Amino acid sequence: MLQASSDVTFEGTVLFERSGSRQFLTVASTAEGNRGELRRMNAGANPRSEFWPIPSRSLTRICHVLEVYVPRLESGRIIAGRSTQRLTLRPRDTLRLTHLVDMDQSTGLPLAMITLDLDGQMLERYEYAAIEYESVIPDASVGNVVDAEYKRGRNIVPGYFLISENPDRGLFVVSDGLATASVFVEPLPAGAPVGEGAIIEGATLTYTRGVRSGSGGLLISVLGEVPFVTARLLADAVRPPLEDS
Amino acid sequence: MTAEDRDREALSALMDGEAQELELRRVLDSISSDPSLRERWRRQQQVRERLQGQRTHAPDVDVSIRVREVLDTGRSASRNPIWSMAVAASVTLAVVMGGQQLLIPSSGIAPAPVVSELGGAVVPVLGAQPVQASLGARSLPVSNRQTAGIQSAGQSVAAVYERLARDRYHRLNGRHAASAAQSHPAPYISYVRVPEIKPEAPVSE
C-alpha cells in the first residue's frame, strides 16, 4: 500500500474533502520518469497540470510504520468498481493520527483513505470515483524493493525520525514513516510577544511558538499531519547550534 | 520555612513547569511518602484545569508514578539549567497528555525558551515516552479552521499567534507538502492540500 504508487501506472478521478471543502481531481502516474500528473477539476476552467513526485519504494519504511501503528486488515467495500481491503492503522501512542485505508485488492493502491484525529473525528478523506490501470511495473516484488531514498536519522520524539535537515536555513523534517512534520525556525517578527498558537486545516496542523533568546527572539513553526502534542514536543526539541544533545 | 512548606512550594513549581529535575525528584519522593501531599497535587491539577476551562483529568490517574518512571529510565539531564527545565516540562507534558488525550495545551506549562539563535538543531526530547492511546476518549478538538486558543498570555497573544500560524501555514505548506509527499500513500494528496502550489524540492541536507 505504502509503495503502490511506485508499483503501478494508473489514471483516475479522485474526490478529496476536508474542512468542509471538496476538490475533484484527475490523477495519473506514468511508467516513464518518476512523477505523476494532477489536475484540479473544479478549481477553474481548463485547469493546468501539476506534477507530483513518485516516491521510491522502501521495505524499511513499511517496517518503521508497523513499529508505531497497529495494523488491522479486513474485507473492504467496492470503490471505483474494484474490490478493496480495509487497512486500519491505529497509533500505538497518542503522538500520531489514525488512518483508514481502502486498498485495491489486486494492486494494493490506496483507493480511499480517511484520517481521524485522536477523538475519532474525520479530518480529511479522499476516494477514487474511477480508476484505470495501465501496467504494473515488473520489478515490484518485495525482493526487489530498495531503500534508495529512505534513510532515517536520529529519533526526535518517540517514533519520529529526522529524515531531512538544513540547519543553516532552520529547516527540519521528521517522519514516522507515514506522517510527516516540518519544523521551521526563523527570527521572531518585530513586536511579537512570546507565546504560542495553532490552527488546523484538514489533517494539517500548524503550530507556532515564539521564544525570547539572546539574539532577540525566534519563531518556531511546525507543520504536519500530527496531533497538537506532537507539534509541541517537536518545538521543544529545537536547540541552538552549539548545545550538546 | 518548614519541610511541608518547601514541599508545597516545590509542588507549585512543578505545576507551573518550573521545577528543576532535582526538585522534581525530591517532590516525587515526598509525594510517595505523604498521602496528603499526593492528594494536594491531584486537587491542584483539577482546580487548575477547571480554571483554564479544560476537561478535568480522571481523579484516579496518578501521574507521579509515570513521571518517576520516565525520569528513572531516561538519560541524565545536562547541567544546563534551561535544558533541565525543558526535560521536566516535557516529562510532565508527555505523561499527562499521553494519558489523557489532551489536545489543548495547559497554560500551566510554560513554553520552554530553549533556543538562542537561528539555525541550530533538533534533538531528541527526553522523557517524551509514548503511552497507550485510549482512542475512545473524548478530547477537545482543534477544530477545522479554528484556533486552539493558548490563553497563557491573554487573548491578544492568542490572536497574534493565530495570525502567525495562519500566515505560516500559507507560506510554508508548499515546502511541507514536498516533504510529506515522500511518506504519504497517495503522494499527490500532500500537494492537493495546498491551493495551487508549484511543487518544490524536498528540504535537502
Instruction: Summarize pLDDT for B1-38 with one digit per residue, the tens.
Output: 666 677 777 766 666 555 665 666 676 677 667 777 77
Structure letter (DSSP) for residue B197 = P
Domain boundaries, chain A: 4-136, 155-236
Q: Looking at the predicted structure, is the pLDDT value of residue A245 above 60?
A: no
Query: Which one has a higher pLDDT value, A60 or A203?
Result: A203
Residue B27's SS3 state is helix
Interval B137-185: pLDDT, tens: 333 333 334 444 444 456 788 888 989 999 999 999 999 999 999 889 9
**CB of B108 within 8 A of CB of B16?**
yes
Rounded to whole angstroms, how far apart are CA atoms A106 and A108? 6
Name the residue of chain B whose CA is nearest to A156's CA: B124
Query: Which one has a higher pLDDT value, B125 or A23?
Result: A23
Residues 52-81 (B) with a CB less than 8 A from some CB of A: 78, 80
Interval A137-155: pLDDT, tens: 555 444 444 445 567 788 8
Interval A225-243: pLDDT, tens: 999 999 999 999 987 655 4
Q: Inspect the interface and report whether the beta carbons of B125 and A157 lie closer than 8 Å.
A: yes
Q: Inspect the interface and report whether the beta carbons of A223 and B113 lie closer than 8 Å.
A: no
Interval B99-139: pLDDT, tens: 333 333 333 333 333 343 444 566 666 544 444 443 333 33
CATH superfamily of A155-236: MucB/RseB, C-terminal domain (3.30.200.100)
Burial of residue B187, with CB atoms counted within 10 A of its CB: 0-12 exposed, 13-18 middle, 19 or more buried: buried
Burial of residue B59, with CB atoms counted within 10 A of its CB: 0-12 exposed, 13-18 middle, 19 or more buried: exposed
- Best residue in B70, B90, B115 to probe A by mutation, most A CBs within 10 Å? B115
**CB of A19 within 8 A of CB of A125?**
no
Q: Inspect the interface and report whether the beta carbons of B203 and A16 lie closer than 8 Å.
A: no
Residues 157-176 (B) with a CB less than 8 A from some CB of A: 157-158, 160-162, 164-166, 168-169, 172-173, 175-176
Q: Inspect the interface and report whether the beta carbons of B176 and A224 lie closer than 8 Å.
A: yes
Rounded to whole angstroms, how far apart are CA atoms A130 and B49? 49
pLDDT at residue A120, rounded to an integer? 92
Q: Inspect the interface and report whether the beta carbons of B186 and A5 lie closer than 8 Å.
A: yes
Is the minimum CB–CB distance between B97 and chain A shorter than 8 Å? yes
Task: Point out which residues pair with A131 in neighbouring strands.
Answer: A12
Burial of residue A18, with CB atoms counted within 10 A of its CB: 0-12 exposed, 13-18 middle, 19 or more buried: buried
Q: Which residues contact B179 (CB under 8 A, 6 or more apart)?
A: A163, A164, A173, A175, A180, A182, B202, B203
pLDDT at residue B123, rounded to an integer? 63
Is the minimum CB–CB distance between B1 and chain A shorter than 8 Å? no
**CB of A53 within 8 A of CB of A64?**
no
pLDDT at residue B150, rounded to an integer? 44
The CATH code of domain A4-136 reads 2.50.20.10
Instruction: Determine the distance from the C-alpha atom of residue B28 to the mean position of all C-alpha atoms in its chain, rounded to a whole number.
Output: 20
Interval A170-222: pLDDT, tens: 899 999 999 999 999 999 998 889 999 999 999 999 999 999 877 778 899 99
Query: Which one has a higher pLDDT value, A118 or A34?
Result: A118
**CB of A61 within 8 A of CB of A44?**
no
Alpha carbon separation from A231 to A187, A236, B139, B172, B195 (Å, rounded):
19, 9, 16, 15, 23
